């Protein structure tokens, strides 16, 4: 009989988490030992349950999946991380790998393929959704500076330049300059479009 692979699942949607657990538990060599619904609960659950592989969603309350991946690797270095997400954005893949994830697949991956991805990650291999890998190579790293990213993140909620300046403790002129640069770099025509494009490429997570 093959070695048991212990799994931790982290997803803020209970239905998705439950469905994933049920599917993976059907595999004779896979056992779900812990489930959490928040990113900031992942490291403690990993330390307490000692899983072999943690399957993490990207967008979770408390801590996003990429920050949680790093927390898991710090708390339990033997645990491999597989990002399983609805949000197949090129910027997310790059940042997940930098955070120590071994794999990145999208949630509509068939159950058998997902189970196979878990086994491959556990064996020390890298598993990446091929379409996303191609997009990531084509897109490249974020063109935005840290400050431009901060300004676009703040701009997601709307608000005037004065509102953004107050929130970020910057002058209105500096905010306008950063917005203008971000709009140019994303190829957008408006602030809202720059936010949307940066979001779609996964450049605003964090």
Tens-place pLDDT, residues 123-134: 999 888 877 766
From CA 203, how far away is CA 95, in angstroms rounded? 9
| pLDDT tens digits along 92-111 | 877 888 888 999 898 888 88
For residue 90, pLDDT over 70 is answered with no
From CA 15, how far away is CA 196, in angstroms rounded? 28
From CA 27, how far away is CA 21, in angstroms rounded? 10
For residue 113, pLDDT over 80 is answered with yes
Q: What are the chain's domains?
A: 5-138 (3.40.50.2300), 146-200 (1.10.10.10)
The overall longest dimension of the chain from CA atoms, in Å, is 66
| pLDDT tens digits along 146-160 | 899 999 999 988 889
**Are 82 and 107 a contacting pair, CB within 8 Å?**
no
Q: What pLDDT score does 57 carry? A: 93
From CA 189, how far away is CA 9, in angstroms rounded? 40
Model pTM greater than 0.95? no
- The sign of the torsion formed by the CA atoms of 157, 161, 164, 166 equals negative
């Amino acid at each position: 009989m093959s070695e048991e692979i212990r799994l931790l699942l982290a997803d803020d949607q209970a239905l998705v988490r439950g469905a994933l657990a049920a599917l993976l538990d059907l595999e004779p060599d896979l056992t779900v030992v812990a489930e959490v619904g928040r990113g900031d609960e992942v490291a403690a659950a990993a330390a307490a349950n000692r899983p072999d592989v943690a399957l993490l969603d990207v967008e979770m309350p408390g801590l996003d999946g990429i920050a949680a991946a790093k927390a898991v690797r710090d708390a339990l270095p033997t645990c491999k991380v597989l990002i399983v997400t609805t949000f197949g954005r090129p910027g997310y893949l790059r940042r997940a790998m930098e955070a120590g994830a071994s794999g990145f697949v999208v949630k509509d991956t068939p159950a058998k393929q997902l189970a196979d991805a878990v086994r491959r990650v556990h064996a020390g291999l890298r598993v990446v959704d091929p379409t996303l890998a191609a997009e990531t190579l084509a897109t490249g790293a974020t063109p935005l500076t840290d400050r431009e990213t901060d300004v676009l993140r703040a701009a997601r909620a709307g608000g005037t330049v004065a509102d953004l300046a107050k929130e970020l403790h910057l002058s209105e002129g500096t905010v306008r300059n950063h917005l203008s640069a971000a709009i140019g770099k994303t190829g957008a025509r408006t602030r809202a479009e720059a936010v949307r494009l940066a979001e779609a490429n996964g450049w605003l997570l964090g």
